[in-house]
Amino acid sequence: MTELHLPPKPGLAAGPGEFVFSVAGLAHGHIYGMTRGLLEAGATLGSVWDEDSQKVTEFLKAFPQGRAADSLEQLLEDPQVRLVASAAVPSRRCELGLRVMEAGKDYFVDKAPMTTLAQLEQAREAVRRTNRKYMVYYSERLHSEAATLADLLVRRGEIGRVIHMDGFGPHRLGGGRPDWFYQKKYVGGILCDIGSHQLEQFLYFTGSEQADITMARKANYAHPEHPEFEDFGDCAVTAPSGATGYFRVDWFTPDGLSNWGDGRTFILGTEGYIELRKYVDIASGRPGENAVYWVNQKGEFRFDATGQVGCPFFYRLIRDCLDRTETAMTQAHAFHAAELCLRVQAMADGL
């Protein structure tokens, strides 16, 4: 086994009350992960708002340190609040972000951060004007210790130069999804939605600002009761460096899987490759997430990253907001990834 010499896990980026964030928009469950990540890195939860007060009540059961805001206006006017986190319905995320930034606060939004190119242009313009941040929760990289370790391995040259990447992003559909989930005007499409994790990772791990779209496909293979729903999508991209990528996403996780999806990332380098089994290592007899495998000139390795490397994104995001730096994710990268997703979806849509 290669001695890993792991860096220390990130500590607290702020003391109590030093970095207060509020939450507005609870449509997607990702808001729980976003909130947990911020709290664990030292942020302080302020007020919480959603148009559905029942959702607010549920959320405050999980995070009793927060309080319900009387209105979105009240939340946005609170001078203590530095950042607003949101998992509103995707098509409404940009509009909310513009209001957040106009109110002088940074914005941290679930992916997809918007659903149209027109929204993206509005967001870019507002960032330039307000000098606020429009950061995106690309959780499959930013909130994954497996991805944190992969990043470390790539940076250390364990697999040489990255030449190709594959991503599989299967998700469990389950029952009880809200109506908006099945409507294209609210979600944007499967490639723009869950495909965004994959495209963001490709740009990140290949060190690319953008990529050419080689092909994009979508399908509704088995859900005719939801005619606008896309239950499968895939895409190939090529980076300016020549590095190639492919990913597929779907809503076909079977009931027998012990987690919500068998997400995989394969990073191929000139001297080896890495495989992340992010959420489940199927039928391995090894329960748990964040199984990192890699093979290089020295051998075959496996490392269980859970609890070992943390997710430095949240620490860095808080520091970036306080220090006005860009260590967690550059604004350019967040928007480049968003733009790529929208263009990939448009190609699959035949637009």
205 lies in the site for its own copies, by CB under 8 A:
no
226 lies in the site for its own copies, by CB under 8 A:
no
> What is the C-alpha separation between 254 and 260, in angstroms, rounded?
9
How near is the Cβ of 150 to its own copies at its closest, in Å? 15
How near is the Cβ of 254 to its own copies at its closest, in Å? 4
Distance (Å) of CA 201 to CA 59, 174, 237: 29, 26, 12
234 lies in the site for its own copies, by CB under 8 A:
yes
Instruction: Please give the backbone phi and psi of residue 193, each rounded to the nearest 5 degrees, phi first.
Output: -85, -95
Quick one: which segment of 71-79, 100-108, 278-286, 312-320 binds its own copies (CB under 8 A)? 278-286
> Among residues 46 and 269, whose Cβ is nearest to its own copies?
269
> Among residues 84 and 159, whose Cβ is nearest to its own copies?
159
**Pair 111, 136: CB distance under 8 Å:** yes
Task: Name residues contacting its own copies, limited to 301-320 (CB under 8 A).
Answer: 301-302
How near is the Cβ of 184 to its own copies at its closest, in Å? 19
- β-strand partners of 248: 168, 234
Can you tell me which of 62, 117, 215, 332 binds its own copies, judged by CB under 8 A? Answer: 215
74 lies in the site for its own copies, by CB under 8 A:
no
Can you tell me which of 61, 297, 350, 351 binds its own copies, judged by CB under 8 A? Answer: 297
> Among residues 221 and 307, whose Cβ is nearest to its own copies?
221
11 lies in the site for its own copies, by CB under 8 A:
no
Can you tell me which of 168, 202, 313, 335 binds its own copies, judged by CB under 8 A? Answer: 168
How near is the Cβ of 40 to its own copies at its closest, in Å? 30
124 lies in the site for its own copies, by CB under 8 A:
no
187, 188, 189, 195: CA torsion to nearest 10 = -90
- β-strand partners of 93: none
Quick one: which segment of 31-39, 107-115, 256-264, 322-330 binds its own copies (CB under 8 A)? 256-264
> What is the C-alpha separation between 21 and 348, in angstroms, rounded?
37
Instruction: Please give the backbone phi and psi of residue 47, each rounded to the nearest 5 degrees, phi first.
Output: -95, 165
Quick one: which segment of 35-43, 51-59, 184-192, 277-285 binds its own copies (CB under 8 A)? 277-285
Q: State the number of binding residues for its own copies (CB under 8 A).
A: 50
CA–centroid distance for 140 within its chain? 5
> What is the C-alpha separation between 112 and 294, in angstroms, rounded?
30
How near is the Cβ of 297 to its own copies at its closest, in Å? 4
How near is the Cβ of 282 to its own copies at its closest, in Å? 5
157 lies in the site for its own copies, by CB under 8 A:
no
Can you tell me which of 163, 173, 322, 347 binds its own copies, judged by CB under 8 A? Answer: 163
Contact set with its own copies (CB under 8 A): 159, 161, 163-164, 166, 168, 170, 214-215, 217, 219, 221-222, 232, 234, 236, 238, 242, 244, 246, 248, 250, 252, 254-258, 262, 266, 268-273, 275, 280, 282-284, 293, 295-302
